[in-house]
Amino acid sequence: MDTLLFSRIQFGANISFHILFPTITIALGWMLFYFKMRYARSGAEKWMKAYHFWVKIFALSFAMGVVSGITMSFQFGTNWPGFMETVGNIAGPLLAYEVLTAFFLEAVFLGIMLFGFSKVPGWLHTLATFLVAFGTTMSAFWIIVLSSWMHTPAGYEMREGVAHATDWLAIIFNPSMPYRLTHMLLASGLTVAFLMAGLSAYRWLRGNRSGEVRLSLVTGLSLGALLIPVQILIGDMHGLNTLEHQPAKVAAMEGNWETQGNVPLLLFALPDEEARENRFEIGIPNGASLILKHKADGVVPGLNEFVTEDGEVLHPPVAPVFFSFRVMVGTGMAMLALSWAAVGLMAWRRRGADALPKPMLWAMVPMAFSGWVATLAGWYTTEIGRQPWLVTGLMTTEQAVADVPAPMVASTLALYLVVYAVLLVAYVGVLFYLAGKSGETAAATDPRRASTKALPAE
Amino acid sequence: MIDLFGPPEIWLPLAFATLMGVSILVYVCLDGYDLGVGALFPFAEDDEKDRMIASIGPFWDANETWLVLAIGILLVAFPTAHGMILTALYLPVAIMLVGLILRGVAFDFRAKAQAKYKPFWNRAFCAGSLMASLSQGFMLGLYIMGLKVTAFTLGFAALTAVALTVAYSFIGATWLIFKTDGALQAKAIAQARRGLWGVVLGLGAVSVASPLVSPRILEKWISVPEVFLLAPLPLLSGALILTLWLLLRRMPLEKDGLSWLPFALTVTLFTLGYLGMAYSFYPYVVPDQLTIYDAASAPESLLIILVGTVFVLPMIAGYTVLSYVIFRGKATELRYD
């Protein structure tokens, strides 16, 4: 084990932990804005109750996202100094704009959004909610611009080994950016949709049938059912874009070794990089050719194309990309099945959430975190798929790593892992605790038991 | 535009060094009081803890963002220096980050988790604040020592670690004097009285050590006419410390009079000390190794950041002020509804 590998695991661990929380806050911010607007329009208490329940989860997720994000801004320097030295002229302004246009906006208005409800006029509180949601989205925009640029760099020239910007519009609207941004924003929407459905199903099963739980459950399921087909479509377009700009990644995703036509769509296989072949293949004949080239005999690039004559491998490690991709797609299919079945049942029986059978509600509870699984798997597919490059065609990951002793990187890695594990357990625990706590007052909120007892304030 | 203020490779690095310096100073003052409140946590009763949290709850996140801005400017404007400094400070940076993580999440967990876990998150809040303060002080010490690692520099860094933590607790105490009343305020006044001596010690240690380590810094301070032009800096600092000492001895005043003053004086004191340091180290971003001019990014990239900054910074200042106005007065219970 060496410094490069430890540093990669460390950055991977940090960014994996980090992305869990922005994925929630981006879409949840807009959801809260929606709740607030509905409340402002209708005056119905249930919207505000839903707001107050979900704003707690927002606050917690936001804090987790902020602190784990700071870690990464330091790790550019501690672990990857070569990155900024080489492409700092491009990455720098993008990161700076993220801090300036997003971080302060979110951070300041978060205080007003969380604690200002009784201190400021209603419109200002709504505005604060909007600005926080807007800030999280701006933050996603800038960081995805940078990430996309690393995948498909454009608008720059190299002078003495350092990248210099020549066209900022080309840098920002680099070829993969629109697809990646849309894909990620939809992923955030889906993560929140299933989190909301899952936690609300849990509250429902605990006996809380209040209007607030009902609306959260229906909103989550409907949003999921609405977004998942769009996501599948965008994902497909993103894949075609990747085929054009990073064919080696697609070859690894498909587990395809030779450039050829009639490539099957592999449902399962064990890619063997030593033998440069797959074992235990199960596939749909011509499937990959059809998806990628829209012809049964369409020629799809293979991994062997990306090995130089002197044996240097310029394609990513195959197995992690291959399996991550399948986990992502599989999770997406499960999302599709569950949300469409639930929405279909509700529409058919015309009884809203009461139409949902218990087993289906129980299935929603673990699916609360399906968005996390799919998002992580998707990011692993695309980021491991970029290897060995850090910036495609411009610099390899190895060229950026710091000259820090491996044991030092390993020890801090262990420290981070322990902290992250504890926090993750605590986070999920608190989510269910908050959901269950409101269930204990089911008697007070169940309309059939008509009680006027108010929910205890936080 | 790029030539507006003379050669861009001169004024742009200077502008960014100034921006970074201001960000660090704002961070030290603002998150300084947050971290200080964290350090004072063990000395508070349970209900006092909730009020201490309430006094910083709406602000801490924005306060911490100044650190992100500062490190961001170092990263984008002086990438080579960013790499050199952060790889040299690898372990203290990691400890600070874990500290900031614990501190930041403990805010939320202590209020939302089951009651039985609250003491755990209270401890995490305090431990996180201490880890961040101590490691920041440690980094400051190593930085002053030119990022060299010897038994002596480590000893000095240990001293600055304690000194900065005391300084943070001091500004934290003055914040509590400003934002609370009654028994908690009285406690904070007593803590500030004791903490003042730590601040004096810390300022003294840095002021004496910097010129001793670097002949260049010594030269900058004792040459004529600089020594006369700079004289107001230590004199004013001395006057501030004296005022603080006299004021804290008499507090609390009637009708909570001047409860904001210790905090304001401390911010001024921190600013003076910081200006002195900035003067000592200019033009170096890595002491005696790398100047801001050698470390700076390409002028075109710096300019595009600067344009954004010039527009956005007043807005940031504006809504920060708005937030402090909304949550003005004595801290009350934090409520979502």
Render A39-102 in DSSP notation, one character per residue: HHHH--HHHHHHHHHHHHHHHHHHHHHHHHHHHHHHHHHHH-HHHHHHHHHHHHHHHHHHIIII
Distances (CA, A) of B157 to A250, B184, B283: 51, 32, 22
**Pick from A14, A318, A124: nearest CA to B323:** A124
Binary contact (A93, B305; C-beta < 8 A): yes
**B-chain residues within 8 Å CB-CB of A102?**
none
**Confidence grade of residue B6 (pLDDT, cut at 50, 70, 90):** confident
Mean pLDDT, residues A300-319 taken together: 84
Count of CB pairs separated by less than 8 Å, A with B: 225
Residue B260: which region, alpha, beta or left (left: phi > 0; alpha: psi -120 to 50)?
alpha
Please report the pLDDT score of residue A442 as a whole number: 44
Mean pLDDT, residues A436-454 taken together: 48
Query: Is residue A444 over pLDDT 50?
Result: no
The neighbouring-strand residues paired with A313 are: A307
- Please report, in angstroms and rounded to a whole number, the separation of the first and last CA atoms in chain A: 48
Query: Tokens at residue B297, please?
Result: 């990014």
Asked if B102 and B94 count as a contact pair (C-beta separation under 8 A), the reply is no
Mean pLDDT, residues A350-365 taken together: 86
**B-chain residues within 8 Å CB-CB of A101?**
308, 312
Which residues have CB under 8 Å from A12's CB, separation 6+? A383
Strands B284-286 and A395-396: unpaired
CB atoms under 10 Å from CB of A276, counted, come to 14
**A-chain residues within 8 Å CB-CB of B85?**
77
What backbone phi and psi angles, to 5 degrees, belong to A223? Answer: -60, -45
Distances (CA, A) of B136 to A421, B40, B133: 25, 17, 5
Mean pLDDT, residues A295-308 taken together: 84
Please report the pLDDT score of residue A1 as a whole number: 55
Render B296-308 in DSSP notation, one character per residue: ---HHHHHHHHHH
A101 interfacial to chain B (CB closer than 8 Å): yes
Backbone Cα Rg of chain A: 24
How close is the nearest chain A Cα to the Cα of B40, in Å?
22
Query: Tokens at residue A229, please?
Result: 């087909």
Query: Tokens at residue A94, please?
Result: 């993008």
**Amino acid of residue B259:** S
> Is this prediction's ipTM beyond 0.95?
no
- The Cβ-side half-sphere exposure at A68, using a 13 Å CA radius, reads 27
Binary contact (B313, A100; C-beta < 8 A): yes
Please report the pLDDT score of residue B77 as a whole number: 86
**Pick from B93, B128, B124: nearest CA to B109:** B124
Which residues have CB under 8 Å from A264's CB, separation 6+? A281, A283, A284, A285, A286, A287, A288
Q: Which runs of E-coded beta strand occur in chain B?
A: 284-286, 290-291
Please report the pLDDT score of residue B44 as a whole number: 87
Which residues have CB under 8 Å from A182's CB, separation 6+? A234, A238
Q: How far apart are CA A29 and CA A134, in angstroms?
A: 8
Query: Tokens at residue B107, please?
Result: 């805010």
Tens-digit pLDDT profile for residues B89-111: 888 998 999 999 999 899 889 88
pTM score, two decimals? 0.87
Please report the pLDDT score of residue A190 as a whole number: 96
Please report the pLDDT score of residue A139 as a whole number: 92
Binary contact (B61, A111; C-beta < 8 A): yes
Distances (CA, A) of B169 to A85, B16, B176, B195: 37, 30, 10, 7
Give the chain B residue whose CA is nearest to the CA of A164: B298
- Hunting for tokens 């400051």 — which residue is that? B140
Which three-class secondary structure state does DSSP give residue B1?
coil
Tens-digit pLDDT profile for residues A255-272: 888 888 888 888 888 888
How far from the centroid of its chain's Cα atoms is residue B15's Cα? 20
Binary contact (A112, B326; C-beta < 8 A): yes
The neighbouring-strand residues paired with A162 are: A159
Query: Tokens at residue A376, please?
Result: 């992580």
A40 interfacial to chain B (CB closer than 8 Å): no
pLDDT > 70 fraction of chain B, expressed in percent and rounded? 99
Q: Which runs of E-coded beta strand occur in A208-311?
A: 265-272, 277-284
Tens-digit pLDDT profile for residues B247-280: 998 888 888 888 889 999 999 999 998 888 888 8
Mean pLDDT, residues B32-44 taken together: 92
A406 interfacial to chain B (CB closer than 8 Å): no
Which three-class secondary structure state does DSSP give residue B234?
helix
Tens-digit pLDDT profile for residues A129-179: 999 999 999 999 999 999 999 999 999 999 888 888 888 999 999 999 999
How far from the centroid of its chain's Cα atoms is residue B27's Cα? 5
